[in-house]
Amino acid sequence: MRLPIHVWRPTLQRRRPRNSNSSMRRRSDQTPPCPAPDTLRDKLIGLGERSIRKSYYPELQRRIFELERFRALLDQSNEAIFLASAESGLVVDCNYSASRLLGRPPEEINDKPFSSILRPITEAQIDRRLAKVGDSSRLLDAIETDVEREDGIVPVEFSLRIVRMGEETYVVAVARDITDRKRAEEELAAMNRRLEELVEERTLDLEAKARELESANRRLQQLDALKSSFLSAVSHDLRTPLTSIQGFAKIIERDFNRTFRGMVAGDLHTKRRAKRIGDNLSIINEETQRLTRLISDLLDISKIESGTIVWKDELIELAALAERAVDSVRFKAASQRSRLKTEIPPKLPLLEADPDRIMQVLINLLDNAIKFSPGGTVQLRAHEDNEGRSIRISVEDTGPGIPENELSAIFETFHQARHGDAMPKGVDRGTGLGLSICRQIVEHYGGAIWAESVLGHGATFHVRLPAAACWSQKACDMSA
């Protein structure tokens, strides 16, 4: 790299001023001795006792002061600044930060080749860039390199600019110590590597967990399918003997009442035994009926979950269907001394659904309400909802109510709400399948089912089903 010259510092020409003013000439023809240079300089800039004061001397003082101030500013800069000749490649001048960066005094830097502080590869890069720009004055791209000093290698970043001063061309090089930046970059790179390692480890762990979960899910699906098959098979196998037991128990109870009850009218001891036998036969009938309902529920839930249930949809008038459902539970309500009330308008939008399944939902809700409201009131209501695009059915009871934290869980399979001390005595808690079946039937038709209750003040179950037109279009807005 060619960067030549003398040290660039502002100097003063020590010329003797020419003045044609006659007042400045000596009247004597004798030539006075030439004053010493320092004395002449002092007089010129106004430092001596008999200084010559001209109009341009204060301007000269101001210029010198500005140069010294500029030099002080350069020396206070944290960035090392070098001025090198583009012709000779020698360093012409540098500031204090340059001396501190290289760990050398200025006299060991000035008048030395600029390439002496550069690595060979950096010098080649600078040469190529200088060759591209020629004499144009513009800032070159920064170059990262290292400089050597007695205590080791220092990473720096050079910014270069070509400048012209009169007839001379110079290169201004600004060097920044990037030790802290490099250290931060290394620490950041190390942190990134560590983060990548952690991410890779976590990714491997997650992939392993995902494989485990996938395997567990497949196993659960297999178990669920096995459970459904088992329930279906067991239910079918139990239904036939239960039907036979129930039939024979009814026949025995009927024949016993007809034949033997009248024969023991006079014998008190035999009469008691006959009554006990009749009661036992009634219990057999009730328990077989309960087991039959349980088996039917198991079969239904198994078919719904497996997708094998057959839906026989048709247009339904809810008023007629609700009346049939109330008739089905009227005997149970009477036995519990519960009052049944209905409030269903005759002209409601039609439903498009399987009437047997909708009947199953109504009977399950009414049966639950009666079971938990002995001596109370059960009310069935229905009305248009969502501007006629759906029908809302509500079953309200006066039972013990449902805890707030149980309101959503009661629709899960085999779940039974905990009523605490408010639970009526002698109430059969059931199997926890009825409400789950209701939920799956309602959701199959794009509806919703939920419960509202205040503990100790009864409960209300709501069912919303899309009207026939909306169900066929699959476009109802079922929001509340």
- pLDDT tens per residue, range 334-383: 988 999 999 998 888 899 999 999 999 999 999 989 988 899 999 999 99
Cβ–Cβ under 8 Å, residues 366 and 381: no
Confidence of residue 395 (pLDDT cuts 50, 70, 90): very high
pTM over 0.75: no
pLDDT of residue 464: 94
CATH code assigned to 314-423+431-473: 3.30.565.10
Write out the CATH class of domain 216-306: mainly alpha
**Nearest one of 380, 388, 386 to 461, comparing CA atoms:** 380
- pLDDT tens per residue, range 253-299: 888 777 776 666 666 777 788 888 888 888 888 888 878 877 787 77
Residue ranges, CATH 3.30.565.10, the chain:
314-423+431-473
Task: Indicate the average pLDDT of the chain.
Answer: 78
Residue ranges, CATH 3.30.450.20, the chain:
31-177
Q: What is the 8-class DSSP label of residue 79? A: S
Cβ–Cβ under 8 Å, residues 295 and 259: no
- pLDDT tens per residue, range 42-80: 544 444 444 445 556 777 778 788 878 877 877 778 888
Residue ranges, CATH 1.10.287, the chain:
216-306
Contacts of 160 (CB under 8 A, 6+ apart): 126, 129, 130, 139, 140, 143, 171, 172, 173, 174
Confidence of residue 223 (pLDDT cuts 50, 70, 90): confident
Mean pLDDT for 113-128 is 69
- Residues 31-177: name the CATH superfamily: PAS domain (3.30.450.20)
Of 388 and 21, more confident: 388
Query: How far, CA to CA in Å, does 230 sit from each of 96, 386, 436, 437?
Result: 92, 42, 19, 18
Of 127 and 223, more confident: 223
Q: Which of 9-13, 279-283, 324-328 has the lowest mean pLDDT?
A: 9-13
pLDDT of residue 5: 34
Of 296 and 426, more confident: 296
pLDDT of residue 238: 73
